[in-house]
Structure 1
Amino acid sequence: MQAEDRLHYMDHLRALAMLAGVLFHAALAYSPLMHAIWPTADTGRSLVVDGAAWFLHLFRMPLFFVVAGFFAALLVARRGLGGLFRNRCARVLLPLLLFLPLVTASMYGLTQHAAATVRHPSPVLAWLRTYIDRHDTMPFVPGWAHLWFLFYLMLFTVLVWVASALELRRIGDSLASLPAALLPAVLPVWLALPLVWAGVPWPAPDALLPSLWALVFFGTYFALGYGMYTRADLLDRLRPLSSWLLCGAVAAYALLFWSSRGFTAAVRPSSWGHAVLQAYAGCWLTLWCVLVARRWLDVRNRTLRWLADASYWVYLVHLPVLFAIQYGLLDVRLHWSAKFALATVCTLAVSFASYQALVRHTVIGRLLDGKLPATARRPATASDAIFPVPDPQVDMKERDA
């Protein structure tokens, strides 16, 4: 398999994982589980939303870190550890530092305005309204918001350096070298350990200080992706298990959802049984997505390429746009499904349009898309936004170095 073959499906996987975040965050406003703590929580909600949203939640970010680990290994092989660090500082750290203040300030302002003006506030907005009346200001809790994944990606970049110095980079290779039937059987048991403390479903680790469970949990997926690059035969060995992985994951999730009564009985720390079911469902779905993408998304396609280019920008800015729309919908009398569809479509439309009109051909666009100058030796692709991209001319010996 040529390096170029791997470029397309991994790049498309990264984009789809990011765009799925818009669906997930839009759904939380109509989630019974999140009703008491989500700022845009609507009076209309359904258990169906929780069933679909948390199913997507199980594998969306694990899939992202698998892809991130894969491209980290590729970049180390081509440019060394220094090249990896320079790439991540430009494509991850700089966007994080630039966009975090803008995202935080916009969401703070939107929420403050909604608390003062919305006639049918969510429980969070109602509490904030009382707090503002008493203290004449709105509380502020610093954190990474929905950009926490960039923070952890930088941490894993540093850990690659540490692992290299301590000769620990073989962890990912060891994961990838497990027998095909043994990897999906054993890996979720290890993943269940941090999930026992994190809870069911696992929360976003968006606090300023890193969470140990998140370092272990997402770090394992990062190491798995790293091993997928160094052991190129792994996906070939897993391919015969594709159907079993999907069926097993759906069964494990159905049992998890039923046994936790739609997660209403889930607590932190969670039971070992719930953690195991969550780990197996998420791990198997992640592996299945990679296998399916390799089979169906390993193609050149202009539409997918444009979506991949736009996905980084869309994810960075979508939450303030979504909150602005859903705050406005709190006073609109519509069924929750109509509000969900309207909020999702409008958020994507605004985000995509702003990318095309204001970002794509600007300095910001070049920063996010990783566009190299015209005199560069190779064209940039969307993967450069967060991940390095293999040169199509690199042969197998260089790729496997």
Structure 2
Amino acid sequence: MLLGIALHGLISFIPGGGGGWAVQDTQTNVMFGVAMAAIHGFRMPLFFLISGFFTMMMLRKRGMAALLKQRFLRIFLPLVLGMFTIIPAVWAVTIYVGMQPQSSTATTKAAAAATDHDNVKTDATVDESIWIAAANGDVEAVENWLDRGGDVAHAEDDGSTALHGAFLFGRFETAELLINAGADPEVKNHRGESCIDMLSAPWGITSYVAGLVQVSAEEEDVLGGRKRIAESLDLAATIHIPTRGSVSDKLQFALFQFPVTGHLWFLWFLCWLVAGFALCVSAGRLLRIPRPARWLSASAFRYVWLIPLTMIPQALMSGDGAGFGPDTSIGLLPMPSVLAYYAVFFGFGAIYFDATGMQSDVEPVGWRSWFAVLASLLVLFPIGLAIRSQHAGLGNLASLFVQASYAWLMTFGMMGVFRQLLSRQSQTMRYLSDSSYWLYLAHIPLIIYAQYWVRDYPLPPFLKFLIVCVFTSIVLLVSYQLLIRYTPIGTLLNGKRTRPKAASDRTDSVATDSEPTTPAGRPQRAEGSVA
């Protein structure tokens, strides 16, 4: 949960806009994109495995009825409440930030670069903004950029070129300029999408992207422009261009792509996974299916079947997970491939509990755990980054294998490392564990505003990132202590907490106040937390 704050805190410092994030800082560094991919590649897989582990533990200890009641209180109700409070707050802050004038520093740099006709080499700032110019159909800006030696192969952080933007928004004139300058319509971004594929993008997705990057787009103009582009390339008969008002496109977007759940998507996924878990357990009992053999999950043999199994749903994804790791699904209905991907981790966590229980061999500690983490970060991850753009043949197979291996090795390695480092009682860690659920639920509006607040300051991006995360965490920790922990909201999220009453009773009250709970569902006395 806390790592999620860091993940969202660094997005504004990624060159190229961080995939349509609300804030783009004036100071960026490519290492933020690398860090995001490293975190994204294992964080939620590990979370869902732990969720499945403690879901099975609660079932074995308290039964199905108590499990479903607890998940309803800890997952479904916070999700519903968050949809009417936190998500609107995210939208409000995003709209507010989007309405503010662009960074004066960035504007000055872009203007200076655009008017420097003696400098033949293209300025990086101009390169990064050319996608927007092409997407807006700004012919003059694209012509000036080309006259100054602009590289038509220049790609944003997600691998998209200016021609991708022109094709997506049906800008015939800027597309023609770029193609005449040598731009390749078949070049692909990190999601494996060519510029030509942009012509088939549903209007709902196009409209959503337009809102994120603040590009003016009318459906009739966009679709008409795409048709002109397709005709100029003799592709009109071979590709599907959505028609205006296509019911199927709008329905697909409304159900799967419209960002209804936002960063609370994981709660919605847990609702589906717990429901599936209950059905599978009930069916298993009815058919008297025995529990899986212990060696399937508690020995190294697990890698033999887990990695190939994980590769299957990942192969069906579009590849928008920062170019590395699983996709993100924040719509009303989960993307089937993404849900199936996390179901593998959740399901394994469930059978893992049956194989190990709460015994000391839940995961080996020591050099093997450290080796797994270091091998993942220093070997698998760099290889994965190098081949993540492979989307066909053996290259694609190798990319899927490396990403799945990274997720599993990091998951098991982290479990062992944390058992070794944090196996003793710690009131501080217990408190952070309790608070982490609230911190994650409420952090996005604060993160966005803090990023906007520091956006224009000429400070190193790493320092600004630290300021954003520390400021957000402090504000949320204070709010947790004063407004959440001992209130009905805190009881809903983590169970009852009793406020210490006197120094003489501190020992007893601390024991009552700090019953264990984790965002992945470890029960505290009779009840557990989110997952």
Question: Is the Cα–Cα contact under 8 Å of residues 62 and 221 in structure 1 kept in the other structure?
Answer: yes
Distance 1:33 1:229, change over 3 A: farther
Aligned residue for 2:373? 246
Question: Is the Cα–Cα contact under 8 Å of residues 22 and 98 in structure 2 kept in the other structure?
Answer: no
Q: Does 1:89 align with 2:89?
A: no
Tell me the SS of whatever aligns to 2:517: helix
Q: How do 1:137-286 and structure 2 match up within 5 A?
A: 141-167=258-284, 173=292, 177-178=296-297, 180-198=299-317, 199=319, 200-201=323-324, 202-232=326-356, 235=361, 238-239=364-365, 241-250=368-377, 251-260=379-388, 265=389, 271-286=396-411
Q: Distance in 2 between matches of 1:361 and 1:236?
A: 33
Report the AA paired with residue 69 of structure 1: G
Which one scores higher on RCO, CA 8 angstroms, separation ≥ 6? 1
Question: Is the Cα–Cα contact under 8 Å of residues 42 and 410 in structure 2 kept in the other structure?
Answer: yes
In structure 1, runs of 5+ residues without a counterpart are 1-17, 133-139, 393-401
Q: Distance in 1 between matches of 2:29 and 2:291?
A: 40
Tell me the SS of whatever aligns to 2:284: coil
Q: Does 1:32 align with 2:15?
A: yes
1:90-144 per-residue CA deviation (whole Å, 9 max, x = no partner) reads: 0110000001221221121112222221322896778437469xxxxxxx94421
Query: Kindly, what percent of the aligned residue pairs are identical?
Result: 24
Distance 1:171 1:364, change over 3 A: farther
Q: How do 1:117-156 and structure 2 match up within 5 A?
A: 117-120=100-103, 127-128=213-214, 130=216, 141-156=258-273
Aligned residue for 1:331? 456
Q: Does 1:79 align with 2:196?
A: no
Q: Distance in 1 between matches of 2:516 and 2:407?
A: 26
1:218-277 per-residue CA deviation (whole Å, 9 max, x = no partner) reads: 1111112112211116946755742442243221111111234xxxx3669992221111
**Which of 250-259 and 235-244 deviates more?**
235-244
Tell me the SS of whatever aligns to 2:42: helix
Q: How do 1:309-320 and structure 2 match up within 5 A?
A: 309-320=434-445
1:35-79 per-residue CA deviation (whole Å, 9 max, x = no partner) reads: 352222223222211222211111111111111111101111112
Residue 334 of structure 1 deviates from its aligned partner by 2.4
Q: RMSD value over aligned CA atoms?
A: 3.2
Distance 1:285 1:78, change over 3 A: same
Residue 176 of structure 1 deviates from its aligned partner by 6.1
Q: Distance in 2 between matches of 1:58 and 1:356?
A: 32
1:174-228 per-residue CA deviation (whole Å, 9 max, x = no partner) reads: 5863462221343112111111222232222112111111222111111121122
1:278-331 per-residue CA deviation (whole Å, 9 max, x = no partner) reads: 110111000111112222222210100110111010000001110111122223
Question: Is the Cα–Cα contact under 8 Å of residues 115 and 129 in structure 1 kept in the other structure?
Answer: no
**Which of 250-259 and 343-352 deviates more?**
250-259
Q: Does 1:305 align with 2:305?
A: no
Q: Does 1:49 align with 2:32?
A: yes
Q: Distance in 2 between matches of 1:24 and 1:207?
A: 20
Question: Is the Cα–Cα contact under 8 Å of residues 430 and 514 in structure 2 kept in the other structure?
Answer: no
1:350-382 per-residue CA deviation (whole Å, 9 max, x = no partner) reads: 1111111211121111111212789xxx87735
Distance 1:362 1:252, change over 3 A: same
Aligned residue-pair number? 362
Distance 1:172 1:311, change over 3 A: farther
Q: Distance in 2 between matches of 1:203 and 1:268?
A: 18
Q: Distance in 2 between matches of 1:214 and 1:194?
A: 7
Question: Is the Cα–Cα contact under 8 Å of residues 100 and 144 in structure 1 kept in the other structure?
Answer: yes
Question: Is the Cα–Cα contact under 8 Å of residues 308 and 401 in structure 2 kept in the other structure?
Answer: yes
Q: Distance in 2 between matches of 1:55 and 1:170?
A: 38
Q: Distance in 2 between matches of 1:343 and 1:197?
A: 35
Q: Does 1:109 align with 2:92?
A: yes
Question: Is the Cα–Cα contact under 8 Å of residues 74 and 390 in structure 1 kept in the other structure?
Answer: no
Report the AA paired with residue 255 of structure 1: I
Q: 2:484 is matched with which residue: 344, 359, 384?
A: 359
Report the AA paired with residue 307 of structure 2: P
Aligned residue for 1:343? 468
Question: Is the Cα–Cα contact under 8 Å of residues 91 and 384 in structure 1 kept in the other structure?
Answer: no
Tell me the SS of whatever aligns to 2:306: helix
- Alignment TM-score, normalising by the size of structure 2: 0.62
Q: Distance in 1 between matches of 2:56 and 2:355?
A: 11
Residue 171 of structure 1 deviates from its aligned partner by 9.7
Tell me the SS of whatever aligns to 1:383: coil
Report the AA paired with residue 14 of structure 2: S
Q: Distance in 2 between matches of 1:172 and 1:205?
A: 31
Q: Distance in 2 between matches of 1:36 and 1:43?
A: 16
Distance 1:242 1:248, change over 3 A: same
Question: Is the Cα–Cα contact under 8 Å of residues 175 and 183 in structure 1 kept in the other structure?
Answer: no
**Which of 272-281 and 140-149 deviates more?**
140-149
Report the AA paired with residue 246 of structure 1: V
Tell me the SS of whatever aligns to 2:459: coil
